[in-house]
Amino acid sequence: MREPSAGPRPHHVCVLAFDGVRLLDVAAPLEVFATASRYTGGRYTVRVCTPDGQDITTSTGLRIAADLPAADAGGADTLVVPGHAERVTFAGRPDLVELVARLAGGAGRVAAVCTGAFALAAAGLLRGRRATTHWEHAAKLARLHPDITVTADAIYVQDGPVLTSAGVTAGIDVCLALVEQDHGPDIARRVARDLVVFLQRPGGQSQFSAASRAPATSHPVLRPLLDAIAADPAGDHRLAVLAERAAVSSRHLTRLFTRQLGTTPAAYVESLRLEAARMYLEQGSGVTEAAGRSGLGSDETLRRVFARHLGTTPSAYAARFRTTRVEAEPAVRAQA
Protein backbone atom coordinates (compact mmCIF):
# COMPACT_ATOMS: atom_id res chain seq x y z
CA MET A 1 0.00 0.00 0.00
CA ARG A 2 1.23 3.47 -0.80
CA GLU A 3 1.50 6.22 1.76
CA PRO A 4 -1.59 8.46 2.23
CA SER A 5 -1.31 11.46 -0.03
CA ALA A 6 -0.94 14.99 1.26
CA GLY A 7 -1.78 18.37 -0.21
CA PRO A 8 -4.81 20.50 -0.93
CA ARG A 9 -6.55 18.14 -3.33
CA PRO A 10 -9.66 16.30 -2.05
CA HIS A 11 -9.09 13.08 -0.15
CA HIS A 12 -10.75 10.29 -2.14
CA VAL A 13 -12.78 7.80 -0.09
CA CYS A 14 -14.08 4.65 -1.76
CA VAL A 15 -16.66 2.49 0.00
CA LEU A 16 -16.95 -1.00 -1.45
CA ALA A 17 -20.51 -2.34 -1.70
CA PHE A 18 -21.76 -5.74 -2.85
CA ASP A 19 -24.91 -7.85 -2.73
CA GLY A 20 -25.70 -8.87 0.86
CA VAL A 21 -23.66 -6.08 2.44
CA ARG A 22 -24.96 -4.70 5.73
CA LEU A 23 -26.63 -1.40 4.95
CA LEU A 24 -25.32 0.51 7.97
CA ASP A 25 -21.77 -0.70 7.29
CA VAL A 26 -21.99 1.30 4.07
CA ALA A 27 -24.17 4.20 5.22
CA ALA A 28 -22.20 5.09 8.37
CA PRO A 29 -18.87 5.80 6.62
CA LEU A 30 -20.67 7.70 3.84
CA GLU A 31 -22.39 9.89 6.42
CA VAL A 32 -19.22 10.60 8.42
CA PHE A 33 -17.07 11.56 5.45
CA ALA A 34 -19.85 13.50 3.67
CA THR A 35 -20.46 15.48 6.87
CA ALA A 36 -16.73 16.06 7.32
CA SER A 37 -16.54 17.30 3.74
CA ARG A 38 -19.11 20.00 4.52
CA TYR A 39 -17.03 21.18 7.46
CA THR A 40 -13.74 21.18 5.53
CA GLY A 41 -14.80 22.94 2.35
CA GLY A 42 -15.08 19.80 0.27
CA ARG A 43 -11.84 18.13 1.34
CA TYR A 44 -13.40 14.66 0.90
CA THR A 45 -14.92 13.03 -2.15
CA VAL A 46 -16.92 9.94 -1.21
CA ARG A 47 -17.93 7.33 -3.77
CA VAL A 48 -19.47 3.87 -3.73
CA CYS A 49 -17.90 1.24 -5.92
CA THR A 50 -19.40 -2.16 -6.70
CA PRO A 51 -17.75 -5.19 -8.33
CA ASP A 52 -19.23 -4.52 -11.78
CA GLY A 53 -20.53 -0.97 -11.48
CA GLN A 54 -24.13 -2.17 -11.17
CA ASP A 55 -26.58 -1.48 -8.35
CA ILE A 56 -26.39 -3.85 -5.40
CA THR A 57 -28.97 -5.06 -2.89
CA THR A 58 -28.12 -4.64 0.79
CA SER A 59 -29.07 -6.94 3.66
CA THR A 60 -32.24 -4.89 4.23
CA GLY A 61 -33.39 -5.18 0.61
CA LEU A 62 -32.57 -1.54 -0.11
CA ARG A 63 -30.73 -1.05 -3.38
CA ILE A 64 -27.66 1.17 -3.62
CA ALA A 65 -26.52 2.69 -6.89
CA ALA A 66 -22.84 2.52 -7.75
CA ASP A 67 -20.79 5.59 -8.52
CA LEU A 68 -18.24 3.52 -10.39
CA PRO A 69 -17.10 -0.07 -10.96
CA ALA A 70 -14.28 -1.45 -8.85
CA ALA A 71 -12.06 -1.60 -11.94
CA ASP A 72 -12.07 2.22 -12.00
CA ALA A 73 -11.67 2.70 -8.24
CA GLY A 74 -7.93 2.20 -7.89
CA GLY A 75 -5.84 4.76 -6.09
CA ALA A 76 -8.31 5.72 -3.35
CA ASP A 77 -6.79 7.52 -0.39
CA THR A 78 -9.10 5.56 1.92
CA LEU A 79 -10.78 2.26 1.10
CA VAL A 80 -13.66 1.19 3.37
CA VAL A 81 -14.60 -2.51 3.37
CA PRO A 82 -17.95 -3.35 5.03
CA GLY A 83 -19.19 -6.72 6.24
CA HIS A 84 -21.45 -9.30 4.65
CA ALA A 85 -24.69 -9.97 6.53
CA GLU A 86 -24.81 -13.70 5.76
CA ARG A 87 -21.35 -14.82 4.64
CA VAL A 88 -19.59 -13.40 7.66
CA THR A 89 -16.21 -14.98 6.89
CA PHE A 90 -16.50 -14.31 3.12
CA ALA A 91 -16.17 -18.06 2.59
CA GLY A 92 -17.19 -18.92 -0.93
CA ARG A 93 -16.60 -15.35 -2.11
CA PRO A 94 -13.02 -15.44 -3.44
CA ASP A 95 -14.07 -12.81 -5.96
CA LEU A 96 -14.68 -10.27 -3.21
CA VAL A 97 -11.51 -11.21 -1.37
CA GLU A 98 -9.46 -10.80 -4.57
CA LEU A 99 -11.20 -7.48 -5.22
CA VAL A 100 -10.37 -6.22 -1.71
CA ALA A 101 -6.73 -7.22 -2.13
CA ARG A 102 -6.50 -5.41 -5.47
CA LEU A 103 -8.18 -2.21 -4.26
CA ALA A 104 -6.15 -2.18 -1.04
CA GLY A 105 -2.93 -2.46 -3.01
CA GLY A 106 -3.50 0.99 -4.45
CA ALA A 107 -5.05 2.62 -1.40
CA GLY A 108 -3.36 4.85 1.12
CA ARG A 109 -5.18 3.21 4.02
CA VAL A 110 -7.88 0.59 4.49
CA ALA A 111 -10.66 0.48 7.08
CA ALA A 112 -12.92 -2.51 7.68
CA VAL A 113 -16.33 -2.18 9.29
CA CYS A 114 -17.64 -5.06 11.39
CA THR A 115 -17.00 -8.42 9.70
CA GLY A 116 -15.28 -6.69 6.79
CA ALA A 117 -12.21 -7.65 8.85
CA PHE A 118 -12.64 -11.21 7.55
CA ALA A 119 -12.25 -9.97 3.98
CA LEU A 120 -9.08 -8.10 4.95
CA ALA A 121 -7.79 -11.19 6.73
CA ALA A 122 -8.51 -13.48 3.78
CA ALA A 123 -6.74 -11.00 1.51
CA GLY A 124 -3.64 -11.16 3.71
CA LEU A 125 -3.89 -7.53 4.82
CA LEU A 126 -4.01 -8.33 8.55
CA ARG A 127 -1.15 -10.80 8.68
CA GLY A 128 1.01 -10.01 11.69
CA ARG A 129 -1.25 -7.13 12.71
CA ARG A 130 -3.64 -6.34 15.55
CA ALA A 131 -7.32 -6.27 14.62
CA THR A 132 -10.86 -6.45 15.92
CA THR A 133 -14.32 -7.29 14.59
CA HIS A 134 -17.86 -7.77 15.91
CA TRP A 135 -17.67 -9.31 19.41
CA GLU A 136 -19.75 -12.29 18.31
CA HIS A 137 -17.22 -13.27 15.64
CA ALA A 138 -13.92 -12.26 17.25
CA ALA A 139 -13.06 -15.79 18.38
CA LYS A 140 -13.77 -17.08 14.88
CA LEU A 141 -11.46 -14.49 13.34
CA ALA A 142 -8.69 -15.53 15.73
CA ARG A 143 -9.27 -19.22 15.04
CA LEU A 144 -9.34 -18.91 11.25
CA HIS A 145 -6.38 -16.53 11.14
CA PRO A 146 -3.92 -17.34 13.94
CA ASP A 147 -1.40 -14.91 12.45
CA ILE A 148 -3.65 -12.01 13.60
CA THR A 149 -3.70 -10.65 17.15
CA VAL A 150 -7.43 -10.18 17.74
CA THR A 151 -8.45 -7.58 20.34
CA ALA A 152 -12.02 -8.67 20.93
CA ASP A 153 -13.26 -5.80 23.12
CA ALA A 154 -11.93 -2.86 21.10
CA ILE A 155 -14.32 -0.51 19.29
CA TYR A 156 -11.65 -0.09 16.63
CA VAL A 157 -7.98 -0.97 16.17
CA GLN A 158 -5.40 0.72 13.99
CA ASP A 159 -2.20 -1.05 13.03
CA GLY A 160 -0.27 1.00 10.51
CA PRO A 161 -2.45 1.95 7.54
CA VAL A 162 -5.01 -0.78 8.31
CA LEU A 163 -7.98 -0.21 10.62
CA THR A 164 -10.64 -2.66 11.77
CA SER A 165 -13.74 -1.95 13.82
CA ALA A 166 -16.45 -3.60 15.85
CA GLY A 167 -20.01 -4.27 14.79
CA VAL A 168 -22.07 -2.05 12.51
CA THR A 169 -22.25 1.37 14.21
CA ALA A 170 -18.52 1.18 15.01
CA GLY A 171 -18.08 2.22 11.40
CA ILE A 172 -18.88 5.71 12.70
CA ASP A 173 -16.17 5.45 15.37
CA VAL A 174 -13.42 4.32 13.03
CA CYS A 175 -14.28 6.93 10.39
CA LEU A 176 -14.36 9.70 13.01
CA ALA A 177 -10.87 8.58 14.01
CA LEU A 178 -9.76 8.91 10.38
CA VAL A 179 -11.29 12.38 10.12
CA GLU A 180 -9.42 13.38 13.29
CA GLN A 181 -6.15 12.11 11.81
CA ASP A 182 -6.77 14.12 8.63
CA HIS A 183 -8.14 17.37 10.06
CA GLY A 184 -7.68 17.33 13.83
CA PRO A 185 -9.99 16.87 16.82
CA ASP A 186 -12.00 20.07 16.31
CA ILE A 187 -13.36 18.96 12.93
CA ALA A 188 -13.95 15.41 14.19
CA ARG A 189 -15.81 16.84 17.19
CA ARG A 190 -18.01 18.96 14.92
CA VAL A 191 -18.88 15.89 12.85
CA ALA A 192 -19.67 13.89 16.00
CA ARG A 193 -21.93 16.66 17.29
CA ASP A 194 -23.69 16.85 13.93
CA LEU A 195 -24.34 13.09 14.03
CA VAL A 196 -25.19 13.16 17.77
CA VAL A 197 -22.64 10.48 18.65
CA PHE A 198 -19.67 10.18 20.99
CA LEU A 199 -16.39 11.44 19.58
CA GLN A 200 -14.79 8.65 21.62
CA ARG A 201 -17.30 6.09 22.86
CA PRO A 202 -16.87 5.15 26.55
CA GLY A 203 -16.21 1.48 27.21
CA GLY A 204 -15.58 -1.41 24.87
CA GLN A 205 -17.68 -3.88 22.91
CA SER A 206 -18.37 -6.11 25.90
CA GLN A 207 -20.90 -3.64 27.27
CA PHE A 208 -23.10 -4.52 24.28
CA SER A 209 -22.61 -8.30 24.41
CA ALA A 210 -23.62 -10.95 26.90
CA ALA A 211 -20.63 -11.10 29.24
CA SER A 212 -21.27 -14.64 30.38
CA ARG A 213 -21.23 -16.39 27.00
CA ALA A 214 -18.96 -19.20 28.13
CA PRO A 215 -18.78 -22.24 25.85
CA ALA A 216 -21.52 -24.75 26.55
CA THR A 217 -20.50 -28.00 28.18
CA SER A 218 -22.32 -31.17 29.16
CA HIS A 219 -19.50 -32.37 31.40
CA PRO A 220 -21.12 -34.34 34.26
CA VAL A 221 -19.08 -32.53 36.92
CA LEU A 222 -19.32 -29.01 35.55
CA ARG A 223 -22.87 -28.88 34.23
CA PRO A 224 -24.62 -29.03 37.65
CA LEU A 225 -22.21 -26.42 39.04
CA LEU A 226 -22.78 -24.04 36.14
CA ASP A 227 -26.53 -24.38 36.49
CA ALA A 228 -26.32 -23.68 40.22
CA ILE A 229 -24.15 -20.58 39.70
CA ALA A 230 -26.50 -19.25 37.02
CA ALA A 231 -29.54 -19.85 39.23
CA ASP A 232 -28.03 -17.98 42.19
CA PRO A 233 -25.03 -15.81 41.25
CA ALA A 234 -24.96 -14.27 44.73
CA GLY A 235 -24.60 -17.64 46.46
CA ASP A 236 -21.47 -19.04 48.07
CA HIS A 237 -19.41 -20.12 45.09
CA ARG A 238 -15.91 -20.08 46.51
CA LEU A 239 -13.57 -22.63 44.94
CA ALA A 240 -13.51 -24.88 48.01
CA VAL A 241 -17.30 -24.86 48.23
CA LEU A 242 -17.70 -25.69 44.54
CA ALA A 243 -15.13 -28.48 44.78
CA GLU A 244 -16.88 -30.00 47.78
CA ARG A 245 -20.21 -29.81 46.00
CA ALA A 246 -18.74 -31.61 42.99
CA ALA A 247 -16.83 -34.14 45.17
CA VAL A 248 -13.52 -33.35 43.49
CA SER A 249 -10.38 -31.54 44.61
CA SER A 250 -10.02 -27.79 44.09
CA ARG A 251 -7.06 -28.42 41.79
CA HIS A 252 -8.99 -30.88 39.64
CA LEU A 253 -11.99 -28.54 39.42
CA THR A 254 -9.76 -25.70 38.31
CA ARG A 255 -8.29 -27.93 35.60
CA LEU A 256 -11.79 -28.86 34.41
CA PHE A 257 -12.87 -25.21 34.18
CA THR A 258 -9.72 -24.32 32.26
CA ARG A 259 -10.00 -27.27 29.88
CA GLN A 260 -13.76 -27.08 29.25
CA LEU A 261 -14.47 -23.35 29.54
CA GLY A 262 -11.13 -21.64 29.07
CA THR A 263 -11.41 -19.79 32.38
CA THR A 264 -11.05 -20.29 36.13
CA PRO A 265 -13.90 -20.93 38.59
CA ALA A 266 -13.42 -17.50 40.17
CA ALA A 267 -13.43 -15.70 36.82
CA TYR A 268 -16.52 -17.60 35.71
CA VAL A 269 -18.41 -16.73 38.90
CA GLU A 270 -17.39 -13.10 38.54
CA SER A 271 -18.67 -13.01 34.94
CA LEU A 272 -22.07 -14.34 36.03
CA ARG A 273 -22.23 -11.83 38.87
CA LEU A 274 -21.32 -9.03 36.49
CA GLU A 275 -24.11 -10.14 34.17
CA ALA A 276 -26.55 -10.16 37.09
CA ALA A 277 -25.42 -6.70 38.21
CA ARG A 278 -25.94 -5.37 34.70
CA MET A 279 -29.46 -6.79 34.66
CA TYR A 280 -30.31 -5.18 38.00
CA LEU A 281 -28.94 -1.81 36.87
CA GLU A 282 -30.91 -2.00 33.62
CA GLN A 283 -34.05 -2.71 35.65
CA GLY A 284 -33.55 0.41 37.76
CA SER A 285 -31.62 -0.80 40.81
CA GLY A 286 -29.07 1.52 42.37
CA VAL A 287 -25.38 0.70 42.46
CA THR A 288 -25.44 -0.54 46.08
CA GLU A 289 -28.48 -2.74 45.51
CA ALA A 290 -27.03 -4.19 42.29
CA ALA A 291 -23.74 -4.97 44.04
CA GLY A 292 -25.47 -6.75 46.89
CA ARG A 293 -28.02 -8.71 44.86
CA SER A 294 -25.46 -9.86 42.30
CA GLY A 295 -23.03 -11.19 44.89
CA LEU A 296 -20.29 -8.69 44.11
CA GLY A 297 -20.86 -7.28 47.56
CA SER A 298 -19.79 -3.65 47.67
CA ASP A 299 -19.99 -0.57 45.51
CA GLU A 300 -16.21 -0.51 45.23
CA THR A 301 -16.03 -4.14 44.06
CA LEU A 302 -18.76 -3.47 41.52
CA ARG A 303 -16.88 -0.42 40.22
CA ARG A 304 -13.64 -2.38 39.90
CA VAL A 305 -15.34 -5.24 38.03
CA PHE A 306 -17.10 -2.81 35.66
CA ALA A 307 -13.86 -0.96 35.00
CA ARG A 308 -11.95 -4.18 34.32
CA HIS A 309 -14.53 -5.85 32.06
CA LEU A 310 -16.52 -3.01 30.52
CA GLY A 311 -14.25 0.02 30.74
CA THR A 312 -17.00 2.15 32.28
CA THR A 313 -18.66 2.81 35.64
CA PRO A 314 -21.90 1.24 36.95
CA SER A 315 -23.63 4.63 37.07
CA ALA A 316 -22.59 5.49 33.50
CA TYR A 317 -23.72 2.05 32.34
CA ALA A 318 -27.11 2.45 34.02
CA ALA A 319 -27.64 5.89 32.52
CA ARG A 320 -26.87 4.62 29.02
CA PHE A 321 -28.78 1.33 29.04
CA ARG A 322 -31.63 1.63 31.53
CA THR A 323 -33.91 3.79 29.39
CA THR A 324 -34.12 5.46 26.00
CA ARG A 325 -36.28 8.29 27.32
CA VAL A 326 -34.90 11.81 27.24
CA GLU A 327 -35.50 13.83 30.38
CA ALA A 328 -37.49 16.98 29.74
CA GLU A 329 -35.40 20.15 29.64
CA PRO A 330 -36.69 23.46 31.01
CA ALA A 331 -38.33 25.54 28.33
CA VAL A 332 -36.21 28.33 26.91
CA ARG A 333 -38.13 31.56 26.54
CA ALA A 334 -37.36 33.91 23.71
CA GLN A 335 -35.79 37.15 24.80
CA ALA A 336 -38.01 40.16 24.35
pLDDT of residue 331: 45
- 46-50, 73-77, 262-266, range with greatest mean pLDDT: 46-50
Query: 215-270 pLDDT, tens per residue?
Result: 567 899 998 998 888 888 999 999 999 999 999 999 999 999 999 988 999 999 99
Number of residues in the chain: 336
| Pairing, β 63-64 against β 68-69 | unpaired
Rounded Cα distance between 269 and 112, Å, is 35
Q: Are 121 and 131 in contact (CB under 8 A)?
A: yes
Q: Does the pLDDT at position 130 exceed 80?
A: yes
pLDDT of residue 333: 42
Collapsing DSSP to helix, strand or coil, 277 comes out as helix
Q: Sorting pLDDT into bands at 50, 70 and 90, what band is 304? A: very high
Q: Does the pLDDT at position 326 exceed 70?
A: no
CATH number of 11-207: 3.40.50.880
Query: 99-129 pLDDT, tens per residue?
Result: 999 999 999 999 999 999 999 999 999 999 9
Number of H helices, E strands in the chain: 13, 11
Q: Of 204 and 305, which is predicted with more confidence?
A: 305
pLDDT of residue 201: 76
Helix (H) or strand (E) holding 81: strand 78-81
Q: What is the mean pLDDT of residues 128-135?
A: 94
pLDDT of residue 146: 94
Percent of the chain with pLDDT over 70: 90
Mean per-residue pLDDT of the chain: 89
pLDDT of residue 336: 38
pLDDT of residue 335: 43
Max CA separation in the chain (angstroms):
80
Query: 10-32 pLDDT, tens per residue?
Result: 999 999 999 999 999 999 999 99
Q: What is the mean pLDDT of residues 189-199?
A: 90
Residues 6+ apart with CB under 8 A from 269: 229, 233, 237, 295
Q: Sorting pLDDT into bands at 50, 70 and 90, what band is 142? A: very high
Q: Are 265 and 239 in contact (CB under 8 A)?
A: yes
* CB atoms closer than 10 angstroms to residue 160: 11
Considering the entire predicted model, what is its pTM?
A: 0.73
Sign of CA dihedral 19, 152, 304, 295: positive
Rounded Cα distance between 237 and 19, Å, is 50
Worst-scoring range by mean pLDDT, 95-99, 108-112, 153-157, 206-210? 206-210
Taking the domains of the chain in order of start, what are their residue ranges? 11-207, 222-321
* Closest to 65 in 3D by CA, of 74, 57, 75: 57
pLDDT of residue 321: 60
CATH number assigned to the domain with residue range 222-321, chosen from the 4 options 3.30.1360.10, 1.10.10.60, 3.40.640.10, 3.30.470.20: 1.10.10.60
